[in-house]
Amino acid sequence: MKLTTAGESHGRALTAIIEGFPAGLTVDIGEIDRYLALRQSGYGRGGRQKIECDRVAVLSGIRDRVTLGSPICLAVKNKDYADWEAYMSPYGADTSARQLTKVRPGHADLAGMLKYGQSDARNVLERASARESAVRVAAGTLARQLLARLGVEVTGYVRQVENVSDDREYAFAEIVAAQRDSELFMPDKLLCEKAKKRIDSLKAQGDTAGGVIEVRVRGMKSGFGSCMTYGEKLDACLAFAAMSVQAVKGVEIGLGFRAAALPGSRVHDAVEWRDGRFARRTNRAGGIEGGMSNGEEIVLRAAMKPIPTLMQGLDTVDFASKESCRAASERSDVCAVCACCIILESAVCFALAQKVAERLGGDTVRDIEARWEKLPQ
């Protein structure tokens, strides 16, 4: 199963092509739109979320809401393209307008301009923008629905917003409820209010906030991934998927970096035979051992850096004149941890669906389900 995305932030639309998706899955298109809306939600979002109201358009690969086995093409239109067509049209555009040469620290602007021989950062930032993640959420929600047919569930929550951190451990159902009830996907209401006040303070200063997101997977059977080939290790594949999300700068699974500061007796999970299956007394490994799922909940955390577009600007250099200046400011959020949570979930869903397809094969969902049922827990 393969995913390719295309499109610019202010272009006509964003598109995703999914190859190798099995036939016979009844698709809930409304659920895709709900996750697109969740991606646009959360306290601290900026003005663009008021302009766009993302909806998926299915261009191929699905008929009467059922996947056909052919390549699936999904699109999410950019509603503000009407205001940008004069500057972004592939058929002829005024490229001298909306030009950006005051490169923004923390963005792809400067490195991309040097790599691709550009004199206008617009030709880099339009693709590097996190707006691209909208179609990854659409594709990831399709993968989520495939996993759901097998009894696999994926959810996530915000553990930290800047210096406001929640160190409690939550049950899966509590995390699901947090996405429904909290403006910041934080289960603890008091910490959520504290984080909101911190976001307000940063906004007043023209600054931004990042955070830590935890993604949990329940129902994944053991044996997905491999200990035989490094490129097939499940934790490596999930880390790649998470690190591919814009603004993510660190990933850990299970105890992660905390494991380095503890003795082995407090890191590794004792095994026992319980309820007719091998089980772990604890889940410090985060559901993955030796590069393979072990049947416990998969626990992945990712650190999102603060958004690098600051309204106060940062010191930089004008690419054209080489003179010192303040960085230009594009329309920006103050905090987008909730969006990052939904995008990370979607990336994890697609990576897991790829692993299912690799191990079980099958041209139809029925084939995959039959082979899944024969697997041990």
Domain ranges for the chain, please list them: 2-373
Give the residue among 228, 168, 211 at the shortest CA–CA distance from 344.
211
Q: What is the pLDDT of residues 187-245, one digit of tens each?
A: 999 999 999 999 999 999 989 999 999 999 999 999 999 999 999 999 999 999 999 99
- Residue 91 pLDDT: 97
**Contact between 222 and 280 (Cβ < 8 Å):** no
Q: For residue 223, give the nearest of 372, 349, 361, 20 by alpha carbon.
A: 372
Residue 217 tokens read as 């997977």
Rounded Cα distance between 314 and 243, Å, is 25
- Tens place of pLDDT per residue across the chain (377 aa): 999 999 999 999 999 999 999 999 999 999 999 999 999 999 998 755 555 689 999 999 999 999 999 999 999 999 999 999 999 999 999 999 999 999 999 999 999 999 999 999 999 999 999 999 999 999 999 999 999 999 999 999 999 999 999 999 999 999 999 998 999 999 999 999 999 999 999 999 989 999 999 999 999 999 999 999 999 999 999 999 999 999 999 999 999 999 999 999 999 999 999 988 899 999 999 999 999 999 999 999 999 999 998 888 899 999 999 999 999 776 678 999 999 999 999 999 999 999 999 999 999 999 999 999 999 87
| CATH superfamily of the domain spanning 2-373 | Chorismate synthase AroC (3.60.150.10)
Q: What is the pLDDT of residue 48?
A: 54
Residues in a beta bridge with 299: 216
Provide the 10 A C-beta neighbour count for residue 151: 12
Beta pairing partners, 164? 161
Residue 194: exposure state from Cβ atoms within 10 A (0-12, 13-18, ≥19): middle
**Whole-number CA gyration radius for the chain:** 22
The pTM of the whole model exceeds 0.85: yes
Please tell me whether residue 86 adopts helix, strand or coil conformation: helix
Residue 50: per-residue pLDDT? 58
Residue 175's nearest CA partner among 213, 204, 149, 128 is 213
Is 31 within 8 Å of 37 (Cβ atoms)? no
Helix %, strand %, coil % for the chain, to 5? 35, 25, 40
**What DSSP line would sit under 231-255, residue for residue?**
GG-HHHHHHHHHHTSTTEEEEEETT
Whole-number Å distance between alpha carbons of 351 and 306: 25
Cα–Cα nearest to 10, from 100, 121, 131, 169: 131
Handedness of CA 253, 257, 258, 264 (dihedral sign): positive
CA distance 347 to 154: 11
**Alpha carbon distance 294, 288 (integer Å):** 6
Q: Are 161 and 339 in contact (CB under 8 A)?
A: no
